[in-house]
């Protein structure tokens, strides 16, 4: 049975080129190709693709924003970013948003089919320069305060990671519970998380506390 593919790419020529490539494959079936992602949720629910090819720079909503939206209702479908960008900001934002792989457009003609095979087997396909960038970032020492937490916010996050309640934290630092809530709200914003579990997990994994 062929793997179904959805394409999101605003460049008409490239979109048609990738679509034509997929049509030549005995293992792939093109479900649809779109020039924007404004209806991405309805389209994914309607077509139920096995894999999504996603451009980053599109009108109305970026591919990264689209990935974030997709991940809110579908955590499983592999999404390969197709892009001209190979800078740190775009790479890491895409991967953190839930992208499964990252392929530079200049490599599409030679690496697309292998990338789709790899991602369907559970891998994370990346262009060589992207992979080197990711590895280089892993070799950098982790900064415990890269999120610009204040000293008090770090203290409260440390206390939170020990399982202490808001009441205990308020008592520990001689502040009101409302003040604790205010600090924790700011901590969530700076860490880009939405819950205590996420905050504590991130703090421990990234050695913030």
Spatial CB neighbours of 17, under 8 Å, sequence gap ≥ 6: 108
pLDDT at 127: 74
pLDDT at 19: 97
In whole angstroms, what separates CA 141 from the centre of its chain? 22
Return the C-alpha torsion angle 167, 171, 172, 176, nearest 10. 80
pLDDT at 128: 75
What are 192's two structure tokens? 């880009």
pLDDT at 145: 55
Spatial CB neighbours of 204, under 8 Å, sequence gap ≥ 6: 161
Instruction: Map the chain to HEC letters.
Output: CCEEEEEECCCHHHHHHHHHHHHCCCCEEEEEEECCCCCHHHHHHHHCCCEEEEECCCCCCCHHHHHHHHHHHCCCCCEEEEECCCCHHHHHHHHHHCCCEEEEHHHHHHHHHHHHHHHHCCCCCECHHHHHHHHHHHHCCCCCCCCCCCHHHHHHHHHHHCCCCHHHHHHHCCCCHHHHHHHHHHHHHHHCCCCHHHHHHHHHHCCCC
Rounded Cα gap, residues 157 and 164, in angstroms:
10
pLDDT at 125: 87
pTM of the model: 0.65
pLDDT at 140: 54
| Mean pLDDT of each 10-residue bin along the chain, 209 residues long | 96 96 96 97 97 94 94 94 78 84 91 94 82 67 67 90 89 93 92 85 81
Residue 132 main-chain phi, psi, to 5 deg: -65, -40
Rounded Cα gap, residues 52 and 95, in angstroms:
14
Lookup result for tokens 């506390």:
209
User: Could you tell me if 154 and 124 are in contact, meaning their C-beta atoms sit under 8 angstroms apart?
Assistant: no
Domains and CATH numbers, the chain: 3-139 (3.40.50.2300), 151-205 (1.10.10.10)
pLDDT at 137: 64
């Amino acid at each position: 049975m062929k793997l179904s593919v959805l394409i999101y790419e605003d460049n008409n020529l490239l979109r048609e080129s990738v679509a034509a490539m997929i049509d030549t494959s005995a293992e792939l079936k093109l479900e649809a190709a779109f020039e924007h992602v404004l209806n991405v949720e309805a389209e994914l629910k309607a077509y139920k693709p096995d894999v999504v090819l996603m451009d980053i720079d599109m009108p109305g909503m970026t591919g990264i924003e689209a990935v974030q939206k997709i991940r809110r209702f579908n955590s499983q479908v592999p999404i390969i970013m197709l892009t001209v960008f190979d800078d740190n900001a775009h790479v890491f934002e895409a991967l953190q948003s839930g992208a499964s792989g990252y392929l530079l457009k200049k490599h599409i003609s030679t690496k697309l089919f292998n990338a789709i095979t790899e991602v369907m087997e559970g891998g994370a396909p990346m262009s060589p320069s992207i992979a080197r960038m990711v590895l280089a970032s892993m070799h950098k020492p982790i900064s415990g305060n890269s999120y610009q937490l204040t000293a008090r916010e770090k203290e409260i996050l440390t206390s939170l990671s020990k399982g202490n309640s808001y009441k205990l934290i308020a008592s520990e630092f001689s502040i009101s519970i409302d003040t604790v809530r205010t600090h924790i709200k700011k901590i969530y914003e700076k860490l880009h998380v939405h819950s205590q579990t996420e905050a504590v997990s991130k703090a421990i994994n990234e050695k913030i506390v």
